Amino acid sequence: MPERLAPIKLRLHGWLEISDPHDNATKIFNGILFGLITLNVLAVVIESTPQTPHTHQWLRDFETISMWIFTLEYFTRFWTCNENPHYAHPVTGRLRYSFTPLSLVDFLTILPFWLHMAGINVSMLRMMRFFRLLKFARLVRYSKAYRFIANSLFSRKDEFLVSFFLMLVVLLVASSLMYFAEHEAQPKVFSSIPAAFWWGVVTFTSVGYGDVYPITALGKVMGGLFAIVGISVFALPTAILTAGMLDQIHVERKNDSPGNDKG
């Protein structure tokens, strides 16, 4: 029996993981899933608005049908995942796959529905219904733009780590100095260095809510200087992402060029 199912398992794995994006059956299969996920996200939005009893029932029926389909998809992915060499082992491979980010998203998407079917109390259900919005996160599987950004981020991961560390150091130094400059004048607002972190974050990100600000002359001078420095430091990740995206564009153009097939 397993030998008979092997071709079907391989074919389903190819559809679900979009092994061949140019295959018509793969396009149709994933186009249907994409459309169903999109409609479910829209249904969650519509549910937050006043509805007629007829509309409410229609949404309930649509969710039920969708959840059965998503459940079948989840277990099909779980069954076929060992077609991927990384998850080849029938037991440990499937366990590793079940804890991957997208697999967890799939699981949390269907969890509220089955909790309701199992008779979980209403208060718990209200909290779990939040996970229905994770259907939107599943769209990343079908997004070329997502893969492009993810590759850009990964290619510059070391630079991102350095920039975030620099941001943290500058934020710590600025918040500490502002605490010492303003604590006596505003003991409740700048009650501690961690409390001053709020001022540092909203100042460096140029949000400036106006709820925490310096009132001493020294504090104002330092605040102005740190605001200028913060714009430069907090803009670093954007510049790094831009560089990574330019690199990724170059790589994709090189891979798509006719001369790349030679050899």
pLDDT tens-digit profile of 62-79?
989 999 999 999 999 999
Distance of CA 47 to the CA centre of its chain: 23
Cα gap 204→202, rounded to integer Å = 6
Q: What's the pLDDT band for 137 if we cut at 50, 70, 90?
A: low
Pick 60 or 149 by higher pLDDT. 60
Q: So what's the pLDDT on residue 120?
A: 74
CB 183 within 8 A of CB 174: no
Three-state secondary-structure class, residue 192: coil
Q: Which of 139, 110, 108, 144 is nearest to 30 (CA)?
A: 139
Q: What's the pLDDT band for 148 if we cut at 50, 70, 90?
A: confident
Cα gap 80→94, rounded to integer Å = 9
243 token code pair = 């560089």
CB 86 within 8 A of CB 93: yes
Q: What's 129's DSSP letter?
A: G
Cα gap 106→16, rounded to integer Å = 13
Cα gap 116→123, rounded to integer Å = 11
Domains of the chain from N-terminus onward: 2-142 (1.20.120.350), 155-252 (1.10.287.70)
| pLDDT of 86 above 80 | yes
195 token code pair = 């409390």
- Provide the percentage of residues in the chain whose pLDDT is more than 90: 18
Q: So what's the pLDDT on residue 61?
A: 92
Cα gap 258→263, rounded to integer Å = 11
| pLDDT of 150 above 60 | yes
